[in-house]
Amino acid sequence: MNTMGNRIAEFRKKKGLTQDQLAEQLGISAQAVSKWETDASCPDIGLIPQLSKILGISLDELFGVEPEQSVVLVPEAERKKPDQLLFKVVIDSADGDKIRVNLPFILIKALSGHSDKLPIQMGNLNLSELIDIDQLVAMAEAGLLGQLVEVDSTDGDHIRVFVE
Partner 1 sequence: MIMLLEVDKLKIPLPFSGAIIKPILDRYTGFDRDTINILWKALRTATAAFPVWVLTEVQEAGGSHIKITILKNSFYTLAKNKKMCYTEEN
Closest CA to 37 of 54, 23, 53, 16: 23
Minimum Å gap between C-beta 21 and partner 1 is 22
Considering only residues 69, 75, 100, 154, which one is a binding residue for partner 1 as defined by CB under 8 A? 100
Tell how many helices (H) and how many strands (E) occur in the chain: 8, 7
Which SS3 state, helix, strand or coil, does residue 100 take? Answer: strand
The answer to whether 36 and 98 are in contact (CB under 8 A) is no
Closest CA to 144 of 65, 87, 60, 66: 87
Stretch that binds partner 1, among 13-21, 25-33, 49-57, 81-89 (CB under 8 A): 81-89
Does residue 102 touch partner 1 according to CB under 8 A? yes
Does residue 117 touch partner 1 according to CB under 8 A? yes
Does residue 48 touch partner 1 according to CB under 8 A? no
The vertex-86 CA angle with 83 and 88, nearest 5°, equals 165
Pick 16 or 96: Cβ nearer partner 1: 96
Angle in degrees, 0-180, between the axes of helices 30-37 and 19-26, rounded to the nearest 10:
120
Does residue 106 touch partner 1 according to CB under 8 A? yes
Does residue 101 touch partner 1 according to CB under 8 A? yes
Does residue 110 touch partner 1 according to CB under 8 A? yes
User: Contact residues for partner 1 (CB under 8 A)?
Assistant: 83-84, 86, 93, 95-104, 106-107, 109-111, 114, 117-119
